[in-house]
Structure 1
Amino acid sequence: MVRARMRSGADWHDVIIHNMSSRGLLATSKVDCRPGTVIELRRIHHIIVGRVVWEKDQYFGIRTQDKLDIDAIVEAKPPAFKPGTAGAEMGEDRRGANRRITAVSVTEREARSRRFSAAFQFVILIGVAAIAALFLAERMGQVLSRPLAAVSAELGGGAS
């Protein structure tokens, strides 16, 4: 059994990998994984992308897009030190002690990016709607000006 993290959609969940082959695996999770769902599994620095091909209760089978290095995934070990530990504070962190990436900053950047993309999409939508409204107003002016010009000419208001 190997523990990993699974992303299905935008959410991350814990998963246990029970069995692996070169092109697939058997896993369990508390989250339903419907057949056809594309998921991403992360085990330390290994990333596995695949599609759920079957599910029953908590168990599900995944067909991976790439061949799996089973030994490397099973034997994967976390890094020797993490940013913010004693080793990093002593200057061993190659990025520098002042630059630390935390889960909060990543989450905050993701939320900021989502807000920006929503605002950008809204501005584009408003621009397209304004251009369509201007085109429609010009076309309606052309269509309505013909009968009004004919009525004006009949009433003696001008030449047509």
Structure 2
Amino acid sequence: MKSVRGWGDACIHNISSRGMMIACDDPLQPGEYVDIRRGRQVVIGRVIWTRDRFSGIRTQDTISPDALVNEPRLESRPAPCDVGGDRRHVRQRLVSEIDTARRIERSRAISGTLQFAALGLFGIAAAVTIAVQVGHVLARPTHHIASALSSAK
């Protein structure tokens, strides 16, 4: 990934046709433009939101998630900038990122389920209210007809 601070590594967590969620060591700022590359694929986007190491990117053009995921990696990796980094620290950070991404996805699934349940309950309540009102509207003429017939005898 290339940002205003130069090239760096990023981990893509979610991809849609017009955006993605990434995590990187160098925190991005909303409004920044980034250039994300995987193999020969190039994605240009703008940072929309950030939280800790995670950022939401809105892409300039529509992207194909399948093409990006299936793109073969480059044969040679760029030389790491920090050679003296502790591998244990990096591994713990990656595990933390994965846990955070899983919590975000689980929270999104729970909120979707709750939203569906709330809309379902609202629909049922609206249907019952409409049925009761229609019953009252239809009961008035029936009552008047029944009273007119009983007084005519």
User: TM-score when scaled to structure 1?
Assistant: 0.46
Structure with the largest fraction of helix: 2
Q: Tell me which of the two structures has the higher relative contact order, counting C-alpha pairs closer than 8 angstroms and 6 or more residues apart.
A: 2
Looking at CA atoms only, which structure, 1 or 2, has the larger radius of gyration? 1
User: TM-score when scaled to structure 2?
Assistant: 0.47
